[in-house]
Chain A
């Protein structure tokens, strides 16, 4: 069945460091891929998405490219800020459009 695997956290970085959070997926057909972010004390909110192979989603300096050949959707940011500290979830919407499949989340801590 469809599934998402993302790197375990927590990830601790210093401000202005480069961030990569790995996400790989298993899906039938051509899923849409998403990154959601959950800031402390808040609900999940969409960070970025990509709906077909080679698409790049971007928002707030974050980017992720839909790589069908490696079934990956890694999240990157060139220079993280303390305000980026949050839990990041990779997700896919697969062939059964009813369901979204979420990874277990990766907690990011950015230190000043």
Chain B
């Protein structure tokens, strides 16, 4: 596709359940980012993938959060045993990975509500 896509667009789950959020980056983009945007807050960095390098997981808030990227393309963010404070919009972005001037392109986000 032409842009970054994410699915689902909305997810409602019960506290304690696991959820998986998907991101399809722009074709050919080697860098992929996950962010969390809580109501009225800025974007909180979660994790970064660059090519075949080990991901930068320094932003993951707890061990309930994990992410993988298969084949250098699609990425899945998994939240285990969800808590109400996990409710937020989860944004994915990709970029060409070719230098510090590169631009990130964002997907529309997945709005997660934990009841």
Enumerate chain A interface residues (CB-CB to B < 8 A): 4, 32, 34, 36, 42-46, 49, 51, 89, 91, 93, 97-105
- The CA of A62 and the CA of B98, in the complex, are separated in Å by 26
Candidates A34, A46, A49, A101; contact of B45 at CB < 8 Å:
A101
Nearest 9 A/B pairs, CB to CB: A102-B43, A104-B42, A44-B106, A102-B42, A43-B108, A98-B56, A43-B106, A98-B48, A51-B101
Q: Least Cβ distance of A84 to chain B in Å?
A: 19
Most chain A CB within 10 A, of B40, B45, B104, B108, is at: B104
Q: Least Cβ distance of B95 to chain A in Å?
A: 10
- The CA of A49 and the CA of B58, in the complex, are separated in Å by 25
A-B contact pairs, 14 of them (CB 8 A): A43-B107, A43-B108, A44-B43, A46-B104, A49-B103, A89-B43, A91-B43, A97-B100, A98-B50, A100-B43, A100-B45, A102-B43, A103-B42, A104-B41
Who on chain B is nearest to A52 by CB?
B101
Candidates B33, B58, B109; contact of A100 at CB < 8 Å:
B33
- The CA of A102 and the CA of B45, in the complex, are separated in Å by 9
- The CA of A97 and the CA of B53, in the complex, are separated in Å by 14
Q: Could you say which residues of chain B place their CB within 8 Å of the CB of A98?
A: 48, 50, 56
List which B44-65 residues lie within 8 A (CB) of chain A.
45, 48, 50, 56, 58-59
- A51–B45 CB distance below 8 A: no
Most chain A CB within 10 A, of B42, B93, B108, is at: B42
- B100–A45 CB distance below 8 A: no
Q: Least Cβ distance of A110 to chain B in Å?
A: 20
Q: Could you say which residues of chain B place their CB within 8 Å of the CB of A91?
A: 43
